[in-house]
Amino acid sequence: MYGICTLSVVSVRREPSHESELVTELLFNDIYEVIEERGGWIYIKMEYDGYEGWIRSLQHFEIDEDAFKSLASREYSVVNSPIELYDSKILTFGTSIYTSRSRCIESNSFINNALSLLDVPYRWGGRSVFGIDCSAFVQLCAKTVGIRLPRDASQQVEMGEDVYFLTETQPGDIAFFENEEHRIVHVGILLDNERIIHASGKVRIDAIDHTGIFNKELGRHTHLLSTIKRITAL
């Protein structure tokens, strides 16, 4: 069984319960495979990034396998403004709009698209302008310029080529940050070699140096720099 999201945003949870952790969100036109049904909930696997979780059965719209395969290979454009009204539906940043035309990718819009989300609130598991986490912020900004990234920062860090020094970075390079156990726990987009835009509390711009992100309001480093990657469209 397969499905497509027909709502602006649908919560995807770790367990089949409203009280369970939000792990990600479906956006309008996202397609998925149904893995399991249980007590008014459906366990799905998203086509775009392979992420899995539970959605309410009432929010599921079934499509057949042929439609799923057709949509998976179909060209689409991507909403690159915070909110867009399309056929009387409110669409959020990063939403796919299927079209018969070829995608038009503007590589120089990556930074502008990221800046358009300034002050969007942070939300763990969020993937929309109503609340977004750090890795979804980077994933959706990349999507608007035709680059498909995994959902989590720990997966995204495996993509692209290493950039070894901040002085060698370019706008749009992606910086990853680690915790005390050296696990990748945060990610953001470099505006230049001194500033980064990232989702922490909200989508914000902070200073960055060889140690990591420096929050001037707090007067301290908040994230420890691990590595920098340059990711280009294939």
Instruction: Give the tens place of pLDDT for each residue, 206-220.
Output: 999 999 999 999 999
Name the phi and psi angles at 152, rounded to 5.
Answer: -100, 150
| Identical topology for domains 2-74 and 104-230 | no
101 confidence band (pLDDT: 50, 70, 90): very low
Q: What is the CATH number of domain 2-74?
A: 2.30.30.40
Residue 83 pairs with which residues in a beta bridge? 92
pLDDT 10s digits, 139-163: 999 999 989 999 999 999 999 999 9
Over residues 72-87, mean pLDDT: 90
pLDDT classification of 100: cutoffs 50, 70, 90: low
Domain 104-230 has CATH 3.90.1720.10: yes
Q: What is the pLDDT of residues 172-208, one digit of tens each?
A: 999 999 999 999 999 999 999 999 999 999 999 999 9
Give the start-to-end residue ranges of the domains of the chain. Answer: 2-74, 104-230
* Structure confidence by residue, pLDDT tens digits, 37-46: 999 999 999 9
Name 230's Cβ contacts closer than 8 Å, sequence gap at least 6: 160, 161, 162, 163, 170, 173, 174
Note the pTM of the prediction, 2 decimals: 0.91
Give the helix ranges, DSSP H, for 85-208: 110-115, 134-143, 153-156
